[in-house]
Structure 1
Amino acid sequence: MASTENAPLKQLYCASTADPVFSSTSKDFLPLLEDIRSPLVLILDPKTQRVGIIQGSNIHANPDSKDALPVQGILPPLYPEWLGDRGFLETHGLRFPYVGGEMALGISTPAMVIALAKAGMLGFLGTAGLTLDEVERQCREIQRVLDPEGLPWGVNLIHSPQELQQETALAELFIELGITRVSVSAFMNLTPTVVHYACKGLTRAPDGTIIRKNRIFAKISRPEMARHFIVPPPDNLLEALVAEDRLTREEAELATRLPICQDITVESDSGGHTDFRPMAPLFSAITELRDRSVSEHGFPYPIRLGLAGGLGTPQAVAAAFAMGAAYVLVGSVHQSAVESGLSEPARALLTEARIADMAATPAGDMLEVGAKVQVLKRGVFFASRAKLLGKLYQGYEGLDQIPAKDKANLEKKIFHASLDDVWKQTQAYLAEHDPKQLNLAKDSPRKQMALVFRWYLGKSSRWALDGDAQRRLDYQIWTGPAIGAFNDWVKGSFLAPLANRHVAQIGRNLMEGAAVITRTQQLRAAGFPMQPGAYRFRPRQLR
């Protein structure tokens, strides 16, 4: 048989009843571009050497008419469902590689999780700040709706170093309820709780394949944090869990062959607690770590990286997938959705936000260590008032040292009560919920000051949730710049009004738009000339 190894490729030609489009300003360009589910044929005009596009043409090895044009390439159909990792979709039973991130205090509500699941997306219930009973009630509410239909969903487990018993109790609850997807966040190191949940239920199939029952999504904002989740759990933690009868010997042995999790959410500049990391360097650094770990350990399954933070437009989502993200996670934008747990007045404030309308303020739960949260500053005074509290905390050793003028300002404009009254309220709360903190404050004026300041920093987020009209200027709304970009994008469209911002429509439009942007970039890379405005997708009702 003659070898065809060095045989030249034959030139292909195509002919179409429609005229080719050679410019992105042509009236026929947009319909061709947005019909992403149909293939596009790239042709070359021999006379002008311009690249054009035709849809649905007959392609032949030889020109069969004088109008036939040489083919430069063929772009296959492109679906939003295909932008991410197909294995991610298969593993979790999803239609889209799109995740609705967990948001504390139940801002990502059962209604939000259910709506995302029914749209073929994955939603995580936000549990931080909720009682164990509240978490159980909301989880059971979701289970009643989604489990009979076999639709996937998940729940959040946030690291609570000052409430480790609550953290452990939540993980035990998730195991008891049979919840198989948990997004863990704020973990600087692995804890027995995380290892227990990740490894519980590990088994072997008849063919020897290791099967996971529980799947962890680790939300990571630093490379040093990622290292703990892309390797097998430490032997000492596994041995301790076996000794406590929380894991079987087989589960512990199988755990040594797998990383803690297969899905890592790389979190860049986000709302709420954030390290303000830029997307590109962070994702690149963690990608390198992941690749080295997979190569070193030879895991039987891939470790997938998703991206979160700053994703409020189709361009941003397309960029995330272009970098190699297996999935995208959206948070800030969902806070303005109908299904959000935020009050309507707070959501209305979000619709007015621009990309520079955010500020970094002291975190209520980590005031003493100087942690920051990113919040909305437009339309409220919370950011400036929280910064003042942070400044006073850094400058004085106790409430008694604060100058009388500053103290009067605090009582009148921020607390709306005397500091003594606030301390009494704080004492009553801690006596019931956290006596240890109260004992620490007895001999520490600085600790007492921190607890008083945390009264305001903690309640301000509740005021936003409840829509407290008396405290509207003190709303603490965690959000990142993504909401500002989203508002610019949807201006004048059906998604601009608050009442139309349903998470399913938000997700579908971001994904559809990202696919169109991806198609636009494919055409540009193939030599098709793109003019300003070509990288634009307007929101529309999608099914």
Structure 2
Amino acid sequence: MFPGQGAQRIGMGEELFAAFPELIARADEILGYSLRELCLQGPMERLSLTSFTQPALFVVNALAWLRHVEQAGLPDYLLGHSVSEYVALFGAGVVDFDTGLRLVQKRGELMARAQGGAMAAVLGLDEAQVRAVLQGQGLEGVYAANINTPRQIVISGERAAVERAEALFTAAGASYFKVLPVSGAFHTPFMADARTEFEAFLGGIEFAAPQIPVISNVTARPHQPARIRERMAEQITAPVRWAESIRYLLALGLEPSNFEEIGARGVAVVKPMVKRTQLEAGPLDPEVLAAEAAAVDASAVEAPAAEVPAATTAAADMAAAEPTAPEEPTARQAARDATGVASRAGFSAEELGSDAFREQFGLRYAYVAGAMYRGIASVELVRRLAGAGLLSFFGAAGLRAPAVEEAILAIKAGVPDDAPWGVNFIAQHNAPQREAELTDLLLRHGVRNIEASAFMEVSPALVHYRAQGLRREGARVIADHRIIAKVSRPDVAAEFLAPAPERIVSRLRESGAIGAEQAQWLSEVPMADALTVESDSGGHTDQGMPFALIPAMLRLRDHWQRRYPRFGPIHVGAGGGIGSPEAAAAVLMLGADYLVTGSINQCTVEAGTSEAVKDLLAEMNVQDTDYAPSPEMFELGSTVQVLKKGLFFPARANKLVALYRQHGSVDEIEPRLRQQIQERYLKRSFEEVFEEIRANYPEADIERAERLPKHRMALLFRRYFSYSTQWALRGELAHKVDFQVHCGPALGSANQWLAGSGMEAWRDRHADALALRLLEETAELLGSRYARMSLGVAG
């Protein structure tokens, strides 16, 4: 299977271009621009334009097919979603590479001309229910365009009508409705002009007979060689019958595990639709296929396609291709009856979590990738997840303002204006001026989402950020500056569920930072839009248990929610320990509105740490973490969770803190141990380290260190934590045993889950593909568990 439009990503094809230089050169010559540069550098706005998306997907998917054939041989069937049906025809030998690309280039140009149309995804209703809404609610000029799964359908038509349809579909029971970022009413009669012009273009093309059966989007049956030209013109205006194509193949005896998606590495778009289709409807009834074949046998002459009902047209193409006979229906009917239970309790990835959370943050999925400090949650990671409809936060903690500003500008340049993303806002208990500096930066560049972490109480900088995004709309106060607060204690959660403290509001009002109107609005809204309940996570952690924390936080949220009847819902999400579908399913069952992952994203291509660290992380198990003193607050007893497998850092860090507590100065430490710290830990003398401190720390800190030997010792020991982080981020193998790698056991769980999946190696893990895989398998697991419980089956 080859994914179609929507699968495009910056970076797609990177692993393929060098392997097929001649084909890339031919593609560039045909297209008139560098395909490699477009795919790897974007910008995303250009890559997402239909006239560029379609050729790019054809080339990347075609190269992925050639690589697949080299490694795994030929399959029994091919099918491609919409534009990628041309990749399937290329794979089957119907067209060569150059011809296929020229066809797709022309198709993309014609479809890109379409204006005034729109498409929207509708989840939770089947095709008959969707058509009933369209016909019964006066939605003339809107059609079912892509039937991706039996209950995931894309409608298409005139823009105003599509937008008006949302309320009607929601009232009819749809669980999700989202207008998609396209300008044309694709796969509808509105594309008739494009079809007519494309038919003329097809007239000069020779199509060979398929060497492998290719399933047609139009008929959901194998192409009849004599009618390929006709069908490919018809495809522009006809709906994509993807779900029926899958059901047809299931009826021939294939299992979901027999289906393989071929395209950009790490992207899973159409593969998850197979299991969803099986759960939601199962295979086609073999009796239907038999009746189609009989209908063809009874008809001596096939009527023209435009005059024949879809079922008869499908039957003609199926019979002409002579498919394998289906299995005996009795056993399959029993299996279908069993999956019928699952279909009633089925879920899709888009349905997990809270619809309101997705809508408020502009997401396709209720999924957040939390920030990892010092840019480990990198620009590339944020841009990639934003492109997939997932929220993530740039890891600004530990970085100076110029580096954060550079990252913000890079993110904004690489994503559409309405793409979901944000910046981490970490508490600076000892340096409030840095919080104020970051707030000014966020306001200056219009950053609308922040993840507030490590706060024990709300700070003036947070209140200032919140106030500058407030506005009144009728009786409601709207917060355009959204705050997701990471909390692990109910008392801290209450700080964010309450309005801004009056003492801080008064101070900001007196200083002129906010006006009287903003001060009033602050009293009518909570400080946060969402709370991420942080359990046993990587980095700073209170080692909480989600099964105790989440119910308590939900009750607290419900109590405070009643104070803001006009504000809208306050969401509660779950973070920490989520590294498998089972863990994700568990917290969703507890009532989480959204999922937050952290450690698992550190072991992806996009993570901003070294390859050496990623190699270590890819080999870890759930027992391979430990607790070490916090770099910033070790004097207060604060700890972080870190990787311990193969590393000395946890033991050495704990040793330094023990020495700090036992001695008043470094001079009191036994000489042999003092020498060991300088030679093995710091790799330099205390005098050299203090000179570095003198050059980088405020004068007040230096004066205090010279006056207080214990403070001098704290600064010296803290440099070890700084070095260990730098060595890890840079991948300096000479210091490998001292790497400080913040990580929770969730990554060990993820490594076990991904074993044998094709994503074992971190180089095969892209942050968006990992997220989508986790969501899809969580949805599948929940559907399966519900089905088994409904049948009275354990497990």
Q: TM-score, normalised by structure 2?
A: 0.58
Q: CA deviation at 1:36?
A: 2.7
The one-letter code matched in structure 2 to 1:498 is W
Q: Which residue of 1 aligns with 2:569?
A: 302
Note the alpha carbon deviations across 1:394-413, whole angstroms, 9 max, x for none: 11111011011211221222
Note if contact 2:370-2:598 (Cα within 8 Å) is conserved in structure 1: yes
Q: CA deviation at 1:151?
A: 0.8
Q: CA deviation at 1:56?
A: 7.1
Q: Which residue of 1 aligns with 2:579?
A: 312
SS of aligned partner of 1:365: coil
Note if contact 1:487-1:496 (Cα within 8 Å) is conserved in structure 2: yes
Distance 2:634 2:606 in 1: 30
Answering whether residue 759 of structure 2 is matched by residue 495 of structure 1, we say yes
Answering whether residue 648 of structure 2 is matched by residue 384 of structure 1, we say no
Distance 2:496 2:789 in 1: 36
Distance 1:358 1:161 in 2: 27
Inter-CA distance 77–315: structure 2 relative to 1 (3 Å threshold): closer
Q: CA deviation at 1:195?
A: 0.8
Q: CA deviation at 1:528?
A: 4.7
SS of aligned partner of 1:260: coil
Note if contact 1:34-1:516 (Cα within 8 Å) is conserved in structure 2: no
Distance 1:266 1:402 in 2: 41
Answering whether residue 591 of structure 2 is matched by residue 324 of structure 1, we say yes
Answering whether residue 715 of structure 2 is matched by residue 451 of structure 1, we say yes
User: Map of 1:337-486 to 2, 5 A cutoff?
Assistant: 337-430=604-697, 434-486=698-750
Distance 1:522 1:384 in 2: 45
User: Map of 1:27-38 to 2, 5 A cutoff?
Assistant: 35-37=275-277
Note the alpha carbon deviations across 1:497-522, whole angstroms, 9 max, x for none: 12111101110111011001111211
Q: Which residue of 1 aligns with 2:420?
A: 152
Q: Which residue of 1 aligns with 2:523?
A: 256
Inter-CA distance 73–81: structure 2 relative to 1 (3 Å threshold): closer
Q: Which residue of 2 aligns with 1:514?
A: 778
Aligned residue among 63, 75, 92 for 2:361: 92
The one-letter code matched in structure 2 to 1:152 is P
Q: CA deviation at 1:426?
A: 2.0
Answering whether residue 394 of structure 2 is matched by residue 125 of structure 1, we say yes
The percentage of aligned residue pairs carrying the same residue is 33
Aligned residue among 106, 117, 124 for 2:375: 106
The one-letter code matched in structure 1 to 2:678 is E
Note if contact 2:450-2:484 (Cα within 8 Å) is conserved in structure 1: yes
Inter-CA distance 72–91: structure 2 relative to 1 (3 Å threshold): closer
User: Map of 1:207-226 to 2, 5 A cutoff?
Assistant: 207-226=474-493
Inter-CA distance 116–28: structure 2 relative to 1 (3 Å threshold): closer
Distance 1:39 1:386 in 2: 51
Note if contact 1:33-1:516 (Cα within 8 Å) is conserved in structure 2: no
Q: CA deviation at 1:103?
A: 0.7
Residues paired across the two proteins, number: 482
Note if contact 1:257-1:299 (Cα within 8 Å) is conserved in structure 2: no
SS of aligned partner of 1:229: helix
Distance 2:491 2:447 in 1: 28
Q: Which residue of 2 aligns with 1:18?
A: none
Note the alpha carbon deviations across 1:100-144, whole angstroms, 9 max, x for none: 111111100100000000111011000111111000011000011
Note the alpha carbon deviations across 1:88-110, whole angstroms, 9 max, x for none: 11111111111111111110010
Q: CA deviation at 1:146?
A: 1.3
The one-letter code matched in structure 1 to 2:618 is T
Distance 2:745 2:535 in 1: 11
Structure of greater Rg:
2
Distance 1:495 1:380 in 2: 25
Note the alpha carbon deviations across 1:58-78, whole angstroms, 9 max, x for none: xxxxxxxxx998998961552
Q: 277-286 or 172-181, which moves further after superposition?
A: 277-286
Q: Which residue of 1 aligns with 2:436?
A: 168
Distance 1:465 1:72 in 2: 49
SS of aligned partner of 1:306: strand
Inter-CA distance 387–301: structure 2 relative to 1 (3 Å threshold): same
Q: CA deviation at 1:222?
A: 1.0
SS of aligned partner of 1:455: helix
Note the alpha carbon deviations across 1:241-281, whole angstroms, 9 max, x for none: 22222222112212211111121111110111111111111
SS of aligned partner of 1:305: strand
Q: 28-37 or 364-373, which moves further after superposition?
A: 28-37
The one-letter code matched in structure 2 to 1:247 is I
Answering whether residue 434 of structure 2 is matched by residue 194 of structure 1, we say no
Note the alpha carbon deviations across 1:162-199, whole angstroms, 9 max, x for none: 22111111011101111000111111011111111112
SS of aligned partner of 2:363: coil
Q: CA deviation at 1:464?
A: 0.6
Q: CA deviation at 1:318?
A: 1.2
Distance 2:415 2:672 in 1: 56
Q: Which residue of 1 aligns with 2:511?
A: 244
Q: Which residue of 1 aligns with 2:74?
A: none
Q: CA deviation at 1:38?
A: 5.9
Inter-CA distance 72–483: structure 2 relative to 1 (3 Å threshold): closer
The one-letter code matched in structure 1 to 2:365 is F
Note if contact 1:38-1:77 (Cα within 8 Å) is conserved in structure 2: no
Distance 2:452 2:341 in 1: 48
The one-letter code matched in structure 2 to 1:187 is F
Distance 1:98 1:169 in 2: 29
Distance 2:645 2:602 in 1: 16
Note if contact 1:464-1:477 (Cα within 8 Å) is conserved in structure 2: yes
SS of aligned partner of 1:241: helix
SS of aligned partner of 1:105: coil
Q: Which residue of 2 aligns with 1:182?
A: 450
Note if contact 1:127-1:157 (Cα within 8 Å) is conserved in structure 2: yes
Answering whether residue 471 of structure 2 is matched by residue 203 of structure 1, we say yes
Distance 1:514 1:73 in 2: 14
Q: CA deviation at 1:298?
A: 3.8
Note if contact 2:423-2:450 (Cα within 8 Å) is conserved in structure 1: yes
Aligned residue among 350, 355, 362 for 1:81: 350
Q: Which residue of 2 aligns with 1:115?
A: 384
Q: CA deviation at 1:361?
A: 0.7
User: Map of 1:131-146 to 2, 5 A cutoff?
Assistant: 131-146=400-415
Note the alpha carbon deviations across 1:365-413, whole angstroms, 9 max, x for none: 1121111111000021111111111111111111011011211221222
Inter-CA distance 151–108: structure 2 relative to 1 (3 Å threshold): same
Inter-CA distance 243–396: structure 2 relative to 1 (3 Å threshold): same
Note if contact 1:201-1:251 (Cα within 8 Å) is conserved in structure 2: no
Which structure is higher in RCO with an 8 Å CA cutoff and minimum separation 6?
1
Note if contact 1:107-1:335 (Cα within 8 Å) is conserved in structure 2: yes
Distance 2:279 2:784 in 1: 13
The one-letter code matched in structure 2 to 1:375 is V
Note if contact 1:33-1:520 (Cα within 8 Å) is conserved in structure 2: no
